Structures are given as C-alpha cells and as structure tokens.
Amino acid sequence: MNKDASIFIAGHRGLVGSAIVRRLQADGYSNLLSRSRAELDLCNQAAVNEFFARHRPQYVFLAAARVGGIHANSTFPADFIRDNLQVQTNVIDSAYRHGTSKLLFLGSSCIYPKHAPQPMPEDCLLSGPLEPTNEWYAVAKIAGLKMCQAYRRQYGFNAISIMPTNLYGPGDNFDLQNSHVLPALIRKFHEAKVRGEQEVVVWGTGTPRREFLHVDDLADACLFLMQRYDGEQLINAGWGEDVSIRELAGIVQDVTGFQGELRLDTSKPDGTPRKLLDVTRLKAQGWAPRIPLREGIAMTYEWFLKHQADYRH
C-alpha cells in the first residue's frame, strides 16, 4: 500500500480497529478514514453506500462488529447475528461496488466447531457443530468470510479473511457483564485488591484452555497480510500456544498483586473445552507474534489503571 492511499478502518474505536489505526499511523500512513457510530451507522445500507460512493477508499479493514463474552452472546443472540450480518454485508458489498482495491475481513476463532481438532486448522471450518454459547456470532462471521470468497469468485474482488484467536490489549472492554475472560479477570482481581477482599471467584472449572494474542500483534499481522497476501483461503492468527483458565487467572492475580484466594465456581459454564489455532499457514507467510502473554497482560493492566474511571458504575 502506498503511504498516501485512502484507507477506511471500520470499527476504529474498537479493540482491533484502534490497534490497526495505531499500527498504520506508526508506519507512516496518513490518509485514514474513520467514522464513529453516530457519524455512520454501518447497519444502514443506504448510509454505507453513500459513504463509499463519496470517499471511495482504496483499502478497507473491516474490524467493526458486535462482540462480547458468553453472557452477552447468551443474552442477546438476535442482536449478535443481525448486527454482524448487516455490518459486514453492507461494507463488503459497498467496497466492491465503489472500487476498493482490497478488503481485509476480521473473523474470529469461534467459527470453528466446538470439538474441532486441536490445534484448529482452517480446513476444519464447517466440519461439526458450533459452541452453543456463541453460535449466533459465529454463524455471522462464517457468512462474512464466505461472502468475501464469493465476491472473489464471482466478481474478482480482492477480499481476504483473517481469523484471530482470543484478543486482549489497550482499548478492551472491561465491563463485567459483557466482556471476555481476560479483561474481566483483570478488573475483578484489581477491584478485589482495592477493596481488600479475601477471594476472587472465577467462572467454571478452570480447565478449559485458551490462546491469547495481544491486539497490537494482530494489527501487525493485518497490515502484513494486506501488503503480502491475496489468497481466497482464510488465515488463522495466533500464538500457537495456550493456557488453562486457571493458569490465566494465576497470571492476572500475580500481575495485579491480589493477595487473596482464587476460587472456581464449577456451577458456571465453561464454554468450549479448548481453542488453540493452527497458525502454520500464517507462519508460512513469514509472520510471527512478538508480545508474550505475561508481558502483554502487564501492559494491558497498566492501560486499565489509566482508564479505569471509564468502567466504574
């Protein structure tokens, strides 16, 4: 991409979108297009079409999505499937119709079957039932990547798809009602320390295993693929290593300095038993992550401490 290319980052205020903006700016890209939800409702087809007709971005990073953890997915299934289908359909179609050179679609590792082989290769997509606690979001994301493939096959549109593992980092959602496990743990342990509590309760048995990638590493992977990859095949993005939820909680407890006990509430759901991505395809392209988990959690906790007033209710 030329440094002065017009680049639209859909979802620029979110965890992934803001990281992509930081990465592009650090690399000298200056012609960045972004719109808040108030300025451009991506669920509104006419508004999205008008935006693309007027600005005609040369490149698009489609990072806008309704996201959340087990609680949010279980409580708002209709919102998750409707909003994500609308956003990605509107953006992908308008990008093609108004001459965008290349689009990168951000998916999620939850698209893979609940009992997929571990680590999960890209080819296991649609080979079994999804995890019920997030199937609405997963179905929408599968539709998005398939739409990219379909537009490539029928129209020759250069749309690529990247499937990141669990993400974390600055700009994450720390709301205890609808956040993912890592930011939720950071906030729970921090607030327990501040209040002088004796224990922190973690949902589930602690045995499920999860892989985590710092969002700045993902942003680097996105730019890398936008510059170097033009294939139809989706590409996983992750570390290729995982930890148990119990181990993760231990790291967060240590980083936050909480001195009490950690208790597992086994009456609460675990979700998928394991989610580890096979990152062979991405490594073959020549990319690897650089931020280890403990270091990344410490960086994220530091960011949270500076912004925690935003999460007090």
Residue type present at position 40: L
In the chain, where are the structural domains located?
7-168+212-241+275-291
Mean confidence (pLDDT) of the chain: 94
Q: Does the annotation flag 246 for ligand binding? A: no
For residue 225, is pLDDT > 50? yes
C-alpha–C-alpha distance, residues 98 and 214, integer Å? 33
Which whole number is the average pLDDT over 144-170?
97
Which pLDDT score, from 0 to 100, does residue 311 have? Answer: 63
**Packing angle of the helix pair 15-26, 215-228 (nearest 10 deg):** 60
How remote is the C-alpha of 171 from its chain's centroid?
Answer: 12
Which pLDDT score, from 0 to 100, does residue 272 have? Answer: 72
> DSSP letter at 83?
H
C-alpha–C-alpha distance, residues 97 and 78, integer Å? 28
Q: Does the annotation flag 263 for ligand binding? A: no
Tell me the pLDDT tens digit for each residue of 55-90: 999 999 999 998 877 777 888 899 999 999 999 999
C-alpha–C-alpha distance, residues 255 and 251, integer Å? 6
- E strand or H helix at 282: helix 280-285
CA distances from residue 254 to 12, 210, 262, 297, 307 in whole angstroms, order as listed: 32, 18, 11, 10, 20
Which one is catalytic: 59, 112, 137, 301? 137
Which pLDDT score, from 0 to 100, does residue 313 have? Answer: 43
Which pLDDT score, from 0 to 100, does residue 75 have? Answer: 87
Which whole number is the average pLDDT over 270-278?
85
For residue 312, is pLDDT > 60? no
Q: Does the annotation flag 165 for ligand binding? A: yes
Q: For the chain, what percent of residues have pLDDT higher than 90?
A: 86
Which whole number is the average pLDDT over 215-240?
97
Q: Does the annotation flag 99 for ligand binding? A: no
* Among 296, 16, 11, CA closest to 163: 16
Tell me the pLDDT tens digit for each residue of 84-125: 999 999 999 999 999 999 999 999 988 999 889 999 999 999
- Residue 284 CB contacts under 8 Å (≥ 6 apart), including other chains: none
Q: Are the C-beta atoms of residues 27 and 226 closer than 8 Å to each other?
A: no
Catalytic residue check, 155:
no
Which whole number is the average pLDDT over 274-287?
95
- Residue 153 CB contacts under 8 Å (≥ 6 apart), including other chains: 232
Which pLDDT score, from 0 to 100, does residue 234 have? Answer: 97
Which pLDDT score, from 0 to 100, does residue 181 have? Answer: 87
Whole-structure pTM value: 0.93
Choose the CATH number for 7-168+212-241+275-291 among 3.40.50.720, 3.40.250.10, 3.20.20.70, 1.10.3720.10.
3.40.50.720
Which whole number is the average pLDDT over 217-245?
97
- E strand or H helix at 63: none
Half-sphere exposure of 100 toward its Cβ, with a 13 Å CA cutoff?
32
Count the neighbouring beta carbons within 10 Å of the beta carbon of residue 271: 21
